[in-house]
Structure 1
Amino acid sequence: MVNTTQLVGRLTKDPELRFSPSGIAICNFTLAVQREFKNQQGEYETDFITCKVFKKQAENLANYQKKGDRIGIVGRIQTGSYEGQDGKRVYTTEVIANSIEFLESKRNNTQGSQTQKTNYQSTQSNSNMNQNYSRVDEDPFAPVNNGRTEVTEEDLPF
């Protein structure tokens, strides 16, 4: 049996980060996902899907994304229930995200990341100029064992 879902949508509000008593990061968020077809009025309808993510991805989502940002998630659907304040059983459905992808680049971070890349490249080129190379008398591409590789039955995966 398979329980997998993929969603692409926009955050309806800033993600809510909290921590469990054991210190695990938990982030709750809601995605607005537009349906692929139009209704009778010729408009696209939208589903608002409650989602949750854990650990480092939860922290990254809360720190780098905000209301209106477009993200993609892959996860699973989880159902549950609890007793409401009025004593009635309340049923829940949410998506537990296994992976999250930020689908929009941040304009204000673009310049910073290019500066870092440029600094890295110049550092790399300077360090390459200062390296001393020694000559190797052996051919590093010469065949080993006369070009033959021994394979036993135990090496085969089938």
Structure 2
Amino acid sequence: MNRVALIGRLTKDPEMRYTTNGIGVTTFTLAVNRPFANQEGDRQADFINIVTWQKLADLCASYLRKGRQAGVEGRLQTRSYENQEGRKVFVTEVVADRVYFLDKAEDTRENDQQPRHDPFADPFADPFAGTGKPINITDDDLPF
């Protein structure tokens, strides 16, 4: 069985990239506190690399930011590659199949002064509330 569950905070904003086939992949690092303190009484953290794919990658890139708390479920994966110096580099990462956004988004987009709607903070909240823009809906848009 290969299953991992983590809760931590992002150390920097997620990085979104696309494969040559156009599939989205987002990577970020999660700082996960250890359950004990060291001899000086300080808490330490492990920095775990996380990878998400496709729709989950889009959601993580859109809603996660540095400092946000997130829960991650997935599988542990190891891989290796040769770097530019010709040395073999080993990578261990969690390939996430679920990401939980555990705190409320309070940031805004750089070019937009309206707060972003976070569908995971309150799934019943009106995503159009407070925008001040009319919604153009015709009878043809309704499914009934």
Q: TM-score range by the shorter chain?
A: 0.7 to 0.9
CA contact 2:10–2:66 (8 Å) conserved in 1? yes
Choose between structure 1 and 2: higher helix proportion: 1
Q: Which residue of 2 aligns with 1:84?
A: 83
Match of 1:141 in 2: none
Q: Any stretches of 5+ residues in structure 1 without a counterpart?
A: 119-158
Q: TM-score, normalised by structure 1?
A: 0.68
Q: How many residues align?
A: 116
Q: Which residue does 2:58 correspond to in 1?
A: 59
User: What corresponds to 1:18 in structure 2?
Assistant: 17
Structure 2 residue runs of 5 or longer lacking an equivalent are 107-114, 130-144
1:115–1:26 distance in 2 versus 1, CA, 3 Å: closer
Verify: 1:7 aligned to 2:3, yes or no.
no
Larger-Rg structure: 1
Distance 2:13 2:127 in 1: 28
Using the aligned pairs only, state the percent identity.
Answer: 42
1:55/1:93 CA distance change after superposition, 3 Å: same
RMSD: 2.1
The structure-2 alpha-carbon separation of the partners of 1:117 and 1:63, relative to structure 1 and needing over 3 Å to count, comes to: closer
SS of 1:48's partner is strand
Structure-2 residue corresponding to 1:125: none
Inter-partner Cα distance in structure 1 for 2:86 and 2:125: 56
